Amino acid sequence: MEDLNDIAVFVAVVDAGSFTLAAERLKVSRPAVSKQVSRLEESLGVRLLHRTTRRLSLTEAGQIFHERASRGLDGLAEARAEVAFLQQKPRGTLRINVPMSFGILHVAPLLPEFLRENPELSVEMDLSDRKLDVIEEGFDVSVRISDLPDSSLVARRLARCRHVIVAAPEYLERHGEPKTPADLQAHDVLGYSLQHSALQWHFLAPDGQPEQVTVSGRLQANNSLALRESLLAGMGIARTPTFLVGEDLQKNRLVTVLGDYRSPEVSIYLVYPQRRHLSPKVRAFADFLAVRFKDPPYWE
């Protein structure tokens, strides 16, 4: 493979019209310039220049190589300039991946403000509850709700994510209120099918001891906003994150049950590929969300 520096020196020699002038422009010795051009010719297996004591001229191969090499070096210079331009301030396109319900309720409403603060930036938001490969699918950042972020990514914690057991007052009037986790076995439970152990619920009892119960119900869904509608309609009991039902609890549309029993707590993270130089657009988005999501988060 030809050395890129040798190619740049060859182009400089042709553009300058002589080894001596090229050496002066490059601030190196004339023998060094001559050596690099000879090394390039040897690597290519072809003579690029006719050398005489009075002038230089390109061979046919030299003319073709100079034309293409000049174009390539110009492209590299433009690429460097564009990258440097992008590193000055947030600009370009920010591709983000967000869980569906959390994205609709808590990220999408913030985007107009974020875009107003960053007028040279555009956003592509992917709403999906599937866990995807951030790097392979070309996302700049992803919001993850989990207990342990992927160690191959940089993770910035934004807020806690508590889960509560909730039901509509009308449902509890008809079916009674469970007093212990075991009582849930007599209730119609609404299950989030993408959640690990969707029907195996784990608790910490008031005395700190772990408890587990197997629940069942007539409705499971892979989207928590759909389950919320069934909750509000009095269709059953659900274990759900507070970011989904915080306003419903405040307005007494839903109530918590088994409040003395704690469900495992996870966190909300912003994750992005490990990079030596964090782009301004990713840093701007991370800082923007960190200001708005704190502990306790506003939905609680």
Report how far residue 33's alpha carbon sits from residue 83's, in angstroms, rounded to the nearest whole number: 29
Return the axis-axis angle of helices 4-16 and 60-86, rounded to nearest 10°.
110
Measured over the CA atoms of residue 75, residue 76, residue 81 and residue 82, the dihedral's sign is: positive
Instruction: Answer with the residue of higher pLDDT: 19 or 148.
Output: 19
Nearest to 234 by CA among 136, 185, 166, 284: 166
Q: Output the pLDDT for position 60.
A: 86
Alpha helices in 150-223 (DSSP H): 169-175
Cβ partners under 8 Å of residue 53, min gap 6: none
Which amino acid, one-letter code, is at 62? G
Average pLDDT, the chain: 88
42-61: average pLDDT: 82
Domains of the chain: residue spans and CATH: 4-86 (1.10.10.10), 95-149+270-292 (3.40.190.10), 163-257 (3.40.190.10)
pTM metric for this prediction: 0.69
Cβ partners under 8 Å of residue 235, min gap 6: 171, 188, 190, 219
- Bridge partners, residue 163, by sequence: 241
When pLDDT is cut at 50, 70 and 90, the band that residue 174 belongs to is very high
193-198: average pLDDT: 76
Report how far residue 289's alpha carbon sits from residue 96's, in angstroms, rounded to the nearest whole number: 13
Task: Answer for the pair 96, 139: CB distance below 8 angstroms, yes or no.
Answer: yes
Instruction: Answer with the residue of higher pLDDT: 210 or 83.
Output: 210
CA 93 to chain centre: 12
Task: Give yes or no for residue 48 having a pLDDT over 80.
Answer: yes
Maximum separation of any 2 CA atoms in the chain, in Å: 105
Which amino acid, one-letter code, is at 208? G
Q: Output the pLDDT for position 81.
A: 62
Q: Output the pLDDT for position 101.
A: 94
Report how far residue 23's alpha carbon sits from residue 189's, in angstroms, rounded to the nearest whole number: 80
Q: Output the pLDDT for position 275.
A: 62
Q: Output the pLDDT for position 184.
A: 94
Which amino acid, one-letter code, is at 222? N
